Structure 1
């Protein structure tokens, strides 16, 4: 391909087209007419010698070549955007920037308190706007409208940058008055009543039933692998609620160990137990759009969160060794 023939505006068109998969909507976002957008798509097809988007009964679908191009185009545009921005370092101490972070209830409970303590000292005027997974889609993150997503993900767009903040195991919380505390075995675990708590991925969550084993997540998948199933009495998406329910002498709560240790600390009414079966570790990840990869303020925030996560992990390891 002769680079002199490539119009950079066409790359912007392609980026939006592949994201929206709709000529009319893409034209509206870019502030151009639909004929101009259609002409741009025609020129893109000529440039790349590929249809790029094909009309089907389900709408416009990207070709294999288009799917290969999408992360590269996004990266190129991010580099260009960074090149034309003023080259200034981020001054956290004087900044009043608002950072929008999507995180699960688990991330909010375990990571954010320490992060806020750090910001209070280093960036007292920086504001965090905390969003839940049901507040948005990956599309808004791709556009850079959300700075970071911190969660456990079953899948993630290939174009995203990501880093693992920590790995966590699972622990069980029970009331000190629960009859099975002194005989906590797989049999007694299965005979008990359980609280299900989890929320992964993005978008609005759907209702669940105890029969949805494949959708229930790590704990129930681990039980299914050994041919077992627990009796779930309560479904909740909030770790704080789950930990309060653990005080009931008839319920068992199985949640990530960092959240469990935090809930059990200073609460003599709750006992922490290791699960009587193997549950694989999971990763808490931080992900962001390639559009923000080189932004100085964003780099500062990512670096700070990684450092805070390391401190949380060290504290949890020390707490687990004591218990």
Structure 2
């Protein structure tokens, strides 16, 4: 079928080529033969009067015109999928939907346990595909290739809807035998100690605390780099190294690992909020609405770590911590 001279089937082929960057893989993804996909490329080039792709090695590299077309083509196809094709009501008790969620190991460990329990009871056939944060989170959510993205509010995009889930605060962790943590931690001692740091993606993006230090001209003495927060407790055990963790996660690991939890120096107390973000085109999708409602309900039941009766460490009560945050002057 043609719309103003364009065969709309070609948009499916173009989207596959932009995603796969390979003629063979693109043909396979839309169930076309390789000659048929080659013919589609020729017709696309003829219609748009542009090469659209050039070969760099064995990869199809989009031209600037193709790059500009990519978001519009993906948005059009997603709109058709969610507004026209996926018209049936969502029944969680019968659905076998797989939710693709970009989420850190931290949020998985401290939050998703209750979510999974709820889903197992209400929608036993629903499955999850938890994916790590990458360098192209924004592109994946724009293209609708993931259903949800959960990350600190300060790192979210304004291009898609979002909602707050829960709050946390960073703390310093080390081995219980680490005598350097027996006294209140000064900024100077914190910076001079060896650190275990977590970095994300191929570009090695830092976590919030390291990002904040870098923004203010300070650099940690990093001895070990790990791929996720859950590796930090194991890397500080039986060493003099320290790490920075969200308080909820630190308490989670302190139940099974000889972990000492201490306050960060005043200027590094970093309260933050985890938020859920989803593709704009999923805003009214019944399945997405159902999943988001479960997330929001379970998040509302989480007690703030700053108001819990459990003390942060033996020598400091919660009132002191809250007052320090309220008067925090920054760096």
Deviation of 1:9 (Å): 0.4
Q: Give 5+ residue unaligned stretches, structure 2.
A: 313-317, 322-331
Question: C-alpha distance in 1, partners of 2:59/2:259?
Answer: 56
Offset, 1:307: 4.0
Partner SS, residue 90 of structure 1: coil
Task: Describe the superposition over 1:129-152 as per-residue Cα deviations: whole angstroms up to 9, x where unpaired.
Answer: 353428999798888775444346
> For 2:215 and 2:86, how far apart are their aligned partners in 1?
55
| Structure 2 equivalent of residue 186 of structure 1 | 187
1:301-323 Cα offsets, whole Å, 9 max, x none, are 133224434544x5345338566
Report the Cα distance in structure 2 between the residues aligned to 1:200 and 1:153, rounded to whole angstroms.
16
- Indicate the residue corresponding to 1:230 in structure 2: 220
Of 4-13 and 84-93, deviating more is: 84-93
Q: Secondary structure at the match of 1:50?
A: coil
1:65-80 residue pairs with structure 2 within 5 A?
65-80=65-80
Contact 1:171–1:274 (CA under 8 A) maintained in structure 2: yes
Q: How far apart, in 2, do the equivalents of 1:216 and 1:87 lie?
A: 42
| C-alpha distance 69-154 of structure 1, shift in aligned 2 (>3 A) | farther
Tell me the equivalent position of 1:210.
none
Report the equivalent of 1:299: 289
Paired residues in the alignment total 308
Contact 1:89 1:296 in 2 (8 A): yes
Asked if the contact 1:222–1:279 (Cα under 8 Å) also holds between the matched residues in 2, the reply is no
Between 55-64 and 263-272, report the one with greater CA deviation. 263-272
Distance in 1 between the 2:114 and 2:87 partners? 30
Structure 2 equivalent of residue 315 of structure 1: 304
- In structure 2, how many angstroms separate the alpha carbons of the residues matched to 1:317 and 1:120? 30
Which shows bigger deviation, 145-154 or 227-236? 145-154
Query: Do the aligned residues in 2 keep the contact of 1:53 with 1:66 (CA within 8 Å)?
Result: yes
Q: Is the 8 A contact 2:176 2:258 kept in 1?
A: yes
Separation in structure 2 between the aligned mates of residue 78 and residue 226 of structure 1, nearest angstrom: 42
Question: 1:271 is matched with which residue?
Answer: 261
> How far apart, in 2, do the equivalents of 1:249 and 1:31 lie?
55
Task: Note the alpha carbon deviations across 1:222-276, whole angstroms, 9 max, x for none.
Answer: 4445554433344433434434666658342212344335556899963330344
Distance 1:186 1:217, change over 3 A: same
Distance of 1:16 and 1:155 partners within structure 2: 29
2:273 & 2:88 partners in 1: Cα distance?
34
Using the alignment, how far apart are the partners of 1:109 and 1:193 within structure 2? 26
Q: 1:113 to 1:275 in 2, by over 3 A?
A: farther
1:34-63 CA deviation, whole Å, 9 max, x = no partner? 333233223223333433223456843223
Flag the structure with more relative contact order, 1 or 2, with Cα contacts below 8 A and sequence separation at least 6. Answer: 1
Query: Relative to 1, partners in 2 of residues 1:51 and 1:302: Cα closer, same or farther, differing over 3 Å?
Result: farther
RMSD: 4.4
- Consecutive unaligned residues of structure 1, counting only runs of 5 or more, are 207-213
SS at structure 1 position matched to 2:87: coil
The yes-or-no answer on 1:242 pairing with 2:232 is yes
C-alpha contact 1:53 1:63 (8 A) present in aligned 2: yes
Determine if contact 1:174/1:181 at 8 Å carries over to the other structure.
no
The SS at the match of 1:115 is: helix
Work out the CA distance in 1 between the residues paired with 2:75 and 2:266.
46
Q: Name the SS of the counterpart of 1:170 in structure 2.
A: strand
Of stretches 94-103 and 27-36 in structure 1, the one that deviates more from structure 2 is 94-103
